[in-house]
């Protein structure tokens, strides 16, 4: 007697051989990478996810395991990788302050040596790399920030391992472009389901604190501003950029700007929480203003975010509530995780 079990996958579009691309996503089991994996798989492409699982999680992509178009490789991009593909989405890097400050040397290596390895791979194949970098200034001198703004960062501060690693990676991309490699560079921010509960950034911290009835911690007066976009908008922008002819950096963000205090009050309302808002000492190198100028993306890609902030936050709240239930059943309740900074406190990101 034989028993067979059929794995059910999300619906996948059929593409002919000439239209189906072989796509590599580094960091593909992470937050953004797993959502990108979902879109590209459902669009009918062959997707290889490479992740060392430092911050990525297998459960983010486990619903694709076994599908003929999907492959998962446990690999660190700091080490060379030899694989034939048509496109590479290079997303490998810890992005939250607690994670990238935990091992700053490793963060630097991932963003520099890892990027160099991906560029070298494509140089030998003559295909396309889209290197997605989140480069944001500590205290921008231009507001809103467009792609021509070079930034104003602290090269020896607590987040320098991340900021400067991204800057060098962009330099590498354009050095390789002069040698014939096609590159695309995006600058973005994001939130949504699959973010780590102890991510350490403002959206996840506030939601977690509100759901658990703890004070929502605001560092400084709360007048610092942020502009967040929902992850599905970002993924659509990344794919549009990859398949465009735009080789210069492009902002993929939501220009709707809110203060940190406004975010805290909105999340309290959406959760229905009675948590108080607690003001603490302002963090070292905490950016004061963030708002992307997305005119270029609108003009050249025909792209702009469409998910309203409250709709995205409600989806994130639903996900985090389920995560709390999951963690409680496994006897682990995460707490908002502060970044490891010797001077000052955790920063809003």
For 258-290, write each residue's pLDDT tens digit. 999 999 999 999 999 999 999 998 877 677 888
CA distance 47 to 24: 6
153-191 pLDDT, tens digit each: 788 888 888 888 888 999 999 999 999 889 999 998 899
Main-chain phi, psi angles of 90, to 5 degrees: -95, 95
CA distance 260 to 244: 34
65-81 pLDDT, tens digit each: 999 999 999 999 999 99
304, 254 contact by CB (below 8 A): no
What share of the chain has pLDDT > 70, as a percent?
A: 87
CA distance 173 to 349: 25
102-149 pLDDT, tens digit each: 889 888 898 899 999 999 887 665 455 665 544 444 455 677 888 887
Q: Looking at 162, 176, 219, 230, which residue is catalytic?
A: 162
Residue 79 confidence (pLDDT): 95
> What are the b/e assignments for 238-259, b being 16+ CB within 10 Å?
bbbbbebebeebbbbbbbebbb
86: exposed, middle or buried (Cβ count in 10 Å: 0-12, 13-18, 19+): middle
Question: Helices marked H in the chain — which ranges?
Answer: 31-42, 97-102, 104-125, 160-177, 202-211, 231-242, 260-271, 295-301, 309-329
CA distance 149 to 33: 27
Based on C-alpha coordinates, what's the Rg of the chain?
20
Sign of torsion, CA 255 260 264 269?
negative
How are strands ordered across the β-sheet holding 128-132? Answer: 70-74, 46-51, 22-26, 87-90, 128-132, 182-188, 250-252
Residue 156 confidence (pLDDT): 86
Neighbours of 109 (CB within 10 A): 17
The mean pLDDT of 336-342, rounded to a whole number, is: 48
Whether residue 102 lies in the annotated active site: no
pTM metric for this prediction: 0.88
CA distance 201 to 205: 6
Peptide bond into 218 cis (omega under 30): no
Q: Which residues contact 217 (CB under 8 A, 6 or more apart)?
A: 205, 209, 278, 280, 336
Residue 349 confidence (pLDDT): 55
Average pLDDT, the chain: 86
42, 10 contact by CB (below 8 A): yes
Instruction: Indicate whether 198 pLDDT > 90.
Output: no
């Amino acid at each position: 007697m034989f028993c067979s079990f059929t794995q059910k996958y999300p619906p996948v579009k059929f593409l002919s051989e000439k239209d189906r691309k072989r796509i590599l996503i580094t960091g593909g089991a992470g937050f953004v990478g797993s959502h990108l994996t979902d879109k590209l798989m459902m669009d009918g492409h062959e997707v290889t996810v490479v992740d060392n699982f430092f911050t990525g999680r297998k459960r983010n992509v486990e619903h694709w395991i076994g599908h003929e178009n999907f492959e998962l490789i446990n690999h660190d991009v700091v080490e060379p990788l030899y694989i034939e593909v048509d496109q590479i989405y290079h997303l490998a890097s810890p992005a939250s302050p607690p994670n990238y400050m935990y091992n700053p040397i490793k963060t630097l290596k991932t963003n520099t040596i890892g990027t160099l390895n991906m560029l070298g791979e494509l140089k030998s194949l003559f295909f396309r790399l889209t290197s997605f970098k989140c480069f944001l200034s500590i205290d921008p001198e231009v507001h809103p920030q467009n792609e021509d703004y070079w930034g104003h960062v602290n090269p020896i501060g607590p987040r320098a391992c991340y900021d400067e690693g991204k800057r060098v990676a962009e330099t590498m991309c354009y050095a390789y472009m002069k040698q014939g490699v096609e590159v695309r560079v995006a600058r973005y921010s994001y939130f949504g389901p699959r973010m780590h509960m102890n991510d350490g950034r403002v959206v996840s911290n506030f939601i977690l604190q509100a759901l658990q009835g703890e004070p929502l911690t605001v560092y400084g007066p709360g007048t610092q501003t942020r502009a967040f976009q929902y992850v599905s908008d970002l993924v659509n922008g990344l794919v549009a950029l990859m398949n465009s002819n735009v080789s210069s950096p492009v902002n993929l963000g939501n220009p709707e700007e809110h203060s940190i205090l406004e975010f805290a009050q909105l999340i309290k309302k959406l959760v229905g929480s009675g948590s108080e808002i607690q003001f603490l000492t302002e963090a070292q190198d905490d950016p004061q203003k963030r708002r992307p100028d997305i005119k270029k993306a609108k003009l050249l890609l025909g792209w702009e975010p469409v998910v309203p902030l409250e709709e995205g936050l409600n989806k994130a709240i639903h996900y985090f509530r389920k995560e709390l239930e999951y963690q409680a059943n496994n006897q682990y309740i995460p707490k908002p995780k502060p970044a490891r900074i010797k001077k000052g406190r955790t920063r809003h990101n």
